[in-house]
Amino acid sequence: MKTEDHIFSSAQRSPGSETAPTIAELTRNLIRYGSKFLPCIVERASGAMLYDEQGKAFLDFTSGQMSAILGHAHPEIVATMAEAAREPVHLYSGLLSRPVLELAEVLAELLGPKLTKALMLSTGAESNEAALRLAKLYTGGHEVVAFDHAWHGMTGATFPTTFSAKRRGYGPPMPGVMAIPTPYVYRRPEWAGENFELDMLDFAFDLVDRQSVGSLAAVLVEPILSSGGVIEPPLGYLARLQEKCRERGMLLIADEAQTGLGRTGAMFACEHHGIVPDIITLSKTLGAGLPLAATITTPEIEEKCHERGFLFYTTHVSDPFPARIGLKAVEIILRDQLTDHAARMGERLDAGLRALQQNHECIGDVRGRGLLAGIEFVGDRQTKRAVPAFGAAVSRRCFELGMNINIVQLPGMGGVMRMAPPLTITPQEIDLGVEIIGRAIGDCLDAGLLDKR
């Protein structure tokens, strides 16, 4: 057995000592869990900027994992964390605290009058798990419908509804999950008319009805599919989808993990479509970077599920510490009118990206709302041929130039560069981000990395 001194002296070696270790050496004790680790060790962060151990700055155009909605180290969030740490941080699940009660009240005010019953959890997958359990218990069914580009989590009930990630190698997923086509307007067939997505929705539910064993429970959707490629259904689609649910006694669950709390220029993305779902799930943005999530539903659904013995214990359900942070985050967003700011900065970002599109044929589409934006790279605009390798190369070059940005790669579609900067982003930082993306595209084109065949 190694001594404590030996263990911690080896773990805390100075980054500047001897030869700098490679990222492979530094991560030798970590389980690799998806995408490759980027070749830097982040030492500090402030606002929309990250800094590595060598002092190099990176513009963070993903708000961490799309979660640091107020940027990094927001002074009021830091102060609230310090205050909250002196009060109860974690409690037994049956004990309540003022922060949890107050956050539930605030969410009810924001989402009311229909959605007023909240459950405080830690992650988006947890909140979607809870939503699906509520839907199944309330309806008595077990069948769930999701988009074929969806991402709702990696847990037992959410992984089967996640179709934009690797699914092979883990055995059979939970039965009863059915995929319907994502309403992907950019890749609408040339022969299709303006109502193509609505017609496809009718066709999709004909197939759902044929496959169902008579136990339909819920449709789980993101109002804007983020990991699936920043895809927003056309206006009218989600309202029609809700009608399909009501016709079949299903509940509509809106997963607003990345779109909630102002990012799209509205407090919730469902507002753009004029719908109120039966259940809404919040996560990522609610904790301003801390693990905090919520599942919110109607009094009717909560009451019936309670009568039927609804059970969803987790270790950190209703913890006071993250609830305090969530309260402060919502207060700042409302007080500083950051939803309006997101709309204005989104317009500036969209204009900058469309200017790049004018200069580069490889940008097939620019899309998104507010500060959730995406550009899709193609080999040519006529065929819209997917070029995921080029998109990945542009993303890598952006990182080399000092910008952290996300690339989404799915079979059958081009690399989609996804952007979700914090709501506190400045006009100058928006312009810097667009400039770096433009330089990265130019460098990759000059290097002959775009396959034009």
The one catalytic residue in 126, 255, 256, 302 is 255
Told to judge if 168 belongs to the known catalytic residues of this protein, a careful annotator would answer: no
The one catalytic residue in 143, 242, 256, 258 is 258
Q: How far apart are CA 217 and CA 78, in angstroms?
A: 41
What does the block give as tokens for 394?
């542009």
Told to judge if 308 belongs to the known catalytic residues of this protein, a careful annotator would answer: no
Q: How far apart are CA 435 and CA 437, in angstroms?
A: 5
Backbone conformation region of residue 38, classed left if phi is above 0, alpha if psi is from -120 to 50, else beta: beta
Task: Give the Cβ contact number of residue 163 at 10 Å.
Answer: 18
Q: How far apart are CA 6 and CA 257, in angstroms?
A: 42
Told to judge if 129 belongs to the known catalytic residues of this protein, a careful annotator would answer: no
Long-range contacts of 352-359 (CB under 8 A, 24+ apart): 352/430, 352/431, 352/433, 352/434, 353/434, 353/437, 355/434, 356/434, 356/437, 356/438, 356/441, 359/438
Task: Give the Cβ contact number of residue 123 at 10 Å.
Answer: 21
Told to judge if 151 belongs to the known catalytic residues of this protein, a careful annotator would answer: yes
The one catalytic residue in 129, 151, 197, 263 is 151
| CA-angle at 322, arms to 321 and 324, nearest 5° | 70
Beta bridge partners of 216: 143
The one catalytic residue in 60, 129, 197, 222 is 222
Residue 312 near residue 119, CB atoms below 8 Å = yes
Told to judge if 143 belongs to the known catalytic residues of this protein, a careful annotator would answer: no
Q: How far apart are CA 442 and CA 74, in angstroms?
A: 34
The one catalytic residue in 136, 328, 367, 418 is 418
Told to judge if 222 belongs to the known catalytic residues of this protein, a careful annotator would answer: yes
The one catalytic residue in 136, 263, 284, 397 is 284
**Catalytic (active-site) positions:** 151, 222, 255, 258, 284, 418
